Amino acid sequence: MTRTKYSLILIFIAALASCTSKSTLPPIAPDVITEFTLNDTDDPAIWVNPEDASKSIIFGTDKETNGAIYAFDLKGKIIEEKTIRNIQRPNNVDIEYGFRLTDSTSTDILVFTEREKQQIRMFSIPEMKPLDKGGFAVFEDARAFGHNLPMGIGLYKSPKDSTIYAIVGRKTGPQNGYLYQYALQSDSLGIQTKLVRKFGSFSGQKEIEAIAVDDEEGFVYYSDEGVCIKKYYAEPSKGDMEISCFGGEHFLEDIEGIAIANYSNGEGYLIVSNQQKGEFNIFSRRDNTFVKAVNLSTSETDGCEVVTIPLNDTFSNGLFVAMNDEKNFYFYDLNKLGLTDH
């Protein structure tokens, strides 16, 4: 066989594999597609406006040296005055409510990783004012090993004392202690971070990016991309033992973004991006068993996020947001995913 014919056969096999790897499930169209970002979308977060849910904001990272945290309204339009620009490769973003600034004042916060500066950033919502004096360094003791480039982040608010923690992942790291957990603290000197623990195993196969925290149940989940979804306690005092490693058999290649749809009494779902398959795998929040897969028409989804409360007429059952690999995000009424609260 000639080299040319052999090369053509390899190309055909690769093309066939690509075709067969795509979802065969019926596609579900989004209700809203956002305006385009400049570079490369990655991870969304949803802030529910406590005074008027119809004025809630969806934030999304645009990862490049001239990156940004875009703010969108529920129609997918960019809110320029709420958008944070000139960020050096923002990767993942999360939101937490009621960060205590003083004994009598608090604010909702948006925290995201800024990879090229090896730090995390913290802003107030909805004012979008920086609270970090330019950023908080992370993984400082791992700099010599090149393990200090932050990627994933999840925020956890402890029911014990309302301390808010940032759980941060990185581009590369060791087999143990891949995640660092920082307490976000405010006092008379301002806001600081305090490293409280290093935890989380890593297979070494690909990387760890997606992190999601279930505040109510007290668990942190993250994607060990080539292996499984890993589950740990979010409360530092409960220890660093891995609770479970599940779901890997349901993914084609990379296990990516994780969103937690929380309903009462521990009911709900984990919605996880099956990136190369073009699907989302849905697992029970209660026992983490596989429920089903859905095809939401997105391409190469990294991050996703969900809220289960009504926002407006379009999203009367809650909102699911998924990154799409065309410099935008897709918004869905949660009912389109066929989820129930029992």
Domain ranges of the chain: 25-337
Which residues have C-beta within 8 Å of that of residue 257, sequence separation ≥ 6? 43, 210, 223, 272, 273, 301, 302, 303, 304, 305, 322, 323
Q: What is the pLDDT of residue 83?
A: 98
Contact 274, 295 (CB under 8 A): no
> How do residues 71-124 score in pLDDT, each as one tens digit?
999 999 999 999 999 999 999 999 999 999 998 999 999 999 999 999 999 999
Q: What is the pLDDT of residue 190?
A: 93
How far is Cα 308 from Cα 301, in angstroms, rounded to an integer?
A: 21
Contact 209, 92 (CB under 8 A): yes
Kind of pairing, strands 328-333 and 319-324? antiparallel
Contact 116, 160 (CB under 8 A): no
Nearest to 112 by CA among 81, 146, 138, 78: 138
How far is Cα 82 from Cα 123, in angstroms, rounded to an integer?
A: 11
Strand partners, 189: none
Which residues have C-beta within 8 Å of that of residue 288, sequence separation ≥ 6? 229, 231, 244, 246, 247, 270
DSSP string, 225-247: TTTEEEEEESSGGG-S---EEE-
- pLDDT reading at 21 higher than 70: no
- pLDDT reading at 19 higher than 60: no
Which residues have C-beta within 8 Å of that of residue 209, sequence separation ≥ 6? 91, 92, 151, 152, 169, 223, 225, 256, 302
* Mean pLDDT for all residues in the chain: 93
Q: What is the pLDDT of residue 171?
A: 95
Q: What is the pLDDT of residue 342?
A: 56
pLDDT level of residue 315 (50, 70, 90 thresholds): very high
How far is Cα 287 from Cα 267, in angstroms, rounded to an integer?
A: 9
Q: What is the pLDDT of residue 282?
A: 98
Q: What is the pLDDT of residue 317?
A: 96
Tell me the CB-side half-sphere exposure of residue 223, using CA atoms within 13 A: 32
Contact 170, 181 (CB under 8 A): no
pLDDT level of residue 5 (50, 70, 90 thresholds): very low
- pLDDT reading at 11 higher than 60: no
Question: How many beta carbons lie within 10 A of that of residue 267, not counting itself?
Answer: 14
Name the CA radius of gyration of the chain, rounded. Answer: 20
> How do residues 171-229 score in pLDDT, each as one tens digit?
999 999 999 999 999 998 899 999 999 999 999 999 999 999 999 999 999 999 999 99
pLDDT level of residue 7 (50, 70, 90 thresholds): very low
> How do residues 246-273 score in pLDDT, each as one tens digit?
999 999 999 999 999 999 888 999 999 9
CATH number of 25-337: 2.120.10.30
DSSP string, 35-74: PP-SS-EEEEEEE--SS-GGG-EEEEEE-STTEEEEEE-T
- pLDDT reading at 40 higher than 60: yes
How far is Cα 130 from Cα 108, in angstroms, rounded to an integer?
A: 12
Q: What is the pLDDT of residue 341?
A: 73
326 versus 13: the higher-pLDDT residue is 326
DSSP letter at 295? Answer: B
Tokens, residue 338? 């066929």
pLDDT level of residue 22 (50, 70, 90 thresholds): confident
How far is Cα 185 from Cα 230, in angstroms, rounded to an integer?
A: 27
Residue type, 133: K
Average the pLDDT over 152-163 and give the result: 97
